[in-house]
Every structure is written in structure tokens, then in C-alpha cells.
Amino acid sequence: YTTNTTSREENKKTIECLYRLSVDIKKIRRLKEWVLLQDVAYVKEIVGILKEMGADETTVANILERCPEAILHTPAEINSQRALWQLVCQNEKQLIKLIQQFPESFFTTEYHENQRANILFFQELGLKNNIITRFLTSAPSIFYNPVEKNRNVIETLQRNYLSLGGSDANMKIWILKLLSQNPFILLNTSTTIQENLEFLQKNDFTDHEVLQLLSKLKGFIFQLTSTTMQKSMLFSKSVFKCSDQELKQLVLKCPALLYYSVPILEERLEGLLKEGISVAQIRETPMVLELTTQIVQYRIKKLSASGYDIKSGTLESLSGTKKDFEVNYGKIQSKKERPIFNPVAPINVED
């Protein structure tokens, strides 16, 4: 809906209905006042549908405060959307919970036919309903594409997977995994996908290595351009003073060198150098560049408090996920701790 309002005065009937529902009208005025200025609103009808699905009054008020434009949709539109989402929801209890968490996604009804066609396409592809509901709530824009566009992207990925040496037997699993990790891959064009894969091949990555990078980067590589990847690689080559072959090995070890832009890599590198870490250490464990400067500072502080000197040690203990770090930190702690006394040593007692 646009913010063009049909009237410059608030719709009193709308205000009264919302007031009776204990909706925070001040909040709506502050964030989306244009909704209150519309001549036509379907407050009672939309509330009726939500209650029919099992929403209590508090839930209804919460939904309307977060997404007041819900009341501008006709009951027919909302019932169609309800039937659509029921294709992938276990029951109405799950559906109302999703609407409460992601009202904007549910109340976007303009692309109804595209949404329906894409849901059926994803089911046909083999995606489980719980994954499709996750897409509907966290990546709704992929459903607004015409289904032919999404089909085209999937076919391009399948074709490239096979041409890079992937097997027919594994292709479906690979595609489904890639999609569930990064549904936004569907917002790219087939041309971008093709160009980015060709860029890697021109830079002497073997077909097997390109597939490896695609899996490691969870498809995020398609959100880059050959220009940004080229700049990032040249930056890394200059920093680590390495040959093309050595750079390729570094990228395979740490795809972040390809994924992050030069300003991000510069900032993270600078943060590490300020902590007294050398370029040689970073080259040895480039995965440390996947971490933000704040995370690096926090981890170094924690390790230093345990007596671990990051400047002379390896950066392995610094990198990895939060869970990896906690495991490494635990090992360092247990090495540091010693018993207060030796239980088998004789005790000297004065006469």
C-alpha cells in the first residue's frame, strides 16, 4: 500500500475498533499513521479471522500494532493467504504463531499467485515444509519472483553442478542444502551465477575446487561480482606477498578472503596487527579474518587472562565458531590449573 491517503482525517470508526481491542493507537500514529487515514478498513473482519485461527485478544492486539496495514486487506485476501500458508503449516496453531512473529510477511498479499506457484515448486523440488515456512517468514521476497525465474536459477545451478563434476546422485542433496543455507541465492540472475563461476575458473581454480568453494560459501558467492572478488584477491596477494598458487590455497583455506570486501579485510587486518599479531601468523591461520575486530579483541583478552600469549602462540585457538573457541579455551584453562598440593607427597609436620 502506498502512503497516498484518501482523507486527511483519521477514520473514527477504525480508531474506535482498535481502541476496543486495546491496541496501542499512539504507536500506530507514530509509525504508520497513514493506515488510520484510510476511508475503508476491515478491522472487525480481520480480527474475526485471526480469532478463528486461535489467536487470543493479546495476540491480535500485538499483530495489529506491529502490522496495522493488515486491516486494509479484504477478508477474501486474508482467507486466500491463510489457505496458502496452510499448505506448509502443520496446523493453525503453528500458523498463528508465525503470523504473530512475522506479520509483515503474512500480510503481503500482492504476489499471491507467485507465492502459490513458488510454494508448489519448492515442494516439488523436495524442500521440506518446515524449510519452506522458514523461507516464507525470513526470506519472503523470493516468493514474489515469478516461478519461472526461480526455476531458471535452480536449473542454472544444476547444470553448473554437473559440468563441474558433481554427480547426478548427489545433485538434489547439494541443491537443497545450498537453498536451505541461503535462499537469497534465488534473487540472483542466471547470468550472475554464470559470470562468477567463470571468474573462478579463469583464476585457475579447478572444477573440484570451485564446487568446494560453493559449498563453503553457502552460495553467498553469487551475491558478489567478479570486480569485488578480483579486488579482494589482489589485496590479499599484496598483504601476504604470495604467488598466485599460494593465494589460491589461502582462499580455499579461508573463502572469506574472496567474500569480504577490501575495506572489511583492511579493518580486520589492522585490528589484528594492533594486538601485536604478525602478518606471518595471519597467513598461517587466515580463518581468523572471518571474525569481527570486536570478537577478536574479546577472545584475545580472555586468552591473555589465562596466561596465553597470542603473539608467540598459534592463532588456531583464536579462530573458529563460538563453540570452537570455548573448547580451545577450556583446554588452555585445564593445562594452566594445577593441584594446590601433591596428594602423594609426604607432609612435613613439626614436632
Condensed to tens digits (0 to 9), the pLDDT of residues 184-196 reads 999 988 888 889 9
Whether 351 has a pLDDT exceeding 50, the answer reads no
pLDDT of 325: 85
pLDDT, mean of residues 312-326: 82
DSSP element (H, E) containing 5: none
pLDDT band at 10 (very low <50, low <70, confident <90, very high): confident
**How many angstroms separate the most distant Cα atoms in the chain?**
101
Phi, psi of 96 (to 5 degrees): -70, -30
Ramachandran assignment for 222, one of left (phi > 0), alpha (psi -120 to 50 degrees), beta (any other) = alpha
8 Å CB contact between 201 and 166: no
pLDDT of 45: 94
pLDDT band at 2 (very low <50, low <70, confident <90, very high): very low
CA angle at 134 for the pair 133 and 135, rounded to the nearest 5°: 90
pLDDT of 13: 92
pLDDT of 66: 92
Question: Between the CA of residue 131 and those of 105, 134, 137, what are the distances in Å?
Answer: 15, 5, 10
8 Å CB contact between 220 and 259: yes
pLDDT band at 73 (very low <50, low <70, confident <90, very high): very high
pLDDT band at 344 (very low <50, low <70, confident <90, very high): low
pLDDT, mean of residues 334-349: 55
* % of the chain residues with pLDDT over 90: 62
Q: How far apart are CA 99 and CA 92, in angstroms?
A: 10
The residue among 199 and 219 whose pLDDT is bigger is 199
Q: How far apart are CA 92 and CA 74, in angstroms?
A: 20
Cα 294–chain centre separation: 20
- Which amino acid is located at 306 in the chain? S
Whether 238 has a pLDDT exceeding 90, the answer reads yes
Whether 349 has a pLDDT exceeding 50, the answer reads no
Beta-carbon-side half-sphere exposure of residue 105 (alpha carbons within 13 Å): 23
pLDDT band at 337 (very low <50, low <70, confident <90, very high): low
Whole-structure pTM value:
0.78
Q: Mean pLDDT of all residues in the chain?
A: 88
Question: Between the CA of residue 118 and those of 196, 219, 230, 273, 351, what are the distances in Å?
Answer: 26, 20, 35, 48, 89
pLDDT, mean of residues 137-164: 93
Range in 45-49, 221-225, 234-238 the model is least confident about: 221-225
Cα 94–chain centre separation: 22
pLDDT band at 326 (very low <50, low <70, confident <90, very high): confident
Range in 104-118, 123-137, 197-211, 293-307 the model is least confident about: 293-307
pLDDT of 51: 94
Report the CATH number of the 225-334 domain. Answer: 1.25.70.10
Q: What size, in residues, is the chain? A: 351
pLDDT, mean of residues 129-155: 94
What is residue 156's DSSP assignment? H
Range in 18-22, 214-218, 235-239 the model is least confident about: 214-218
pLDDT band at 342 (very low <50, low <70, confident <90, very high): low
pLDDT, mean of residues 279-298: 91
pLDDT of 318: 82
What is residue 340's DSSP assignment? S
pLDDT of 248: 93
Q: Which residue has the cell 500506530?
A: 28
Burial class (CB in 10 A: 0-12, 13-18, 19+), 346: exposed
CA angle at 31 for the pair 27 and 36, rounded to the nearest 5°: 80
Domain ranges of the chain: 9-109, 121-129+140-219, 225-334
pLDDT of 350: 46
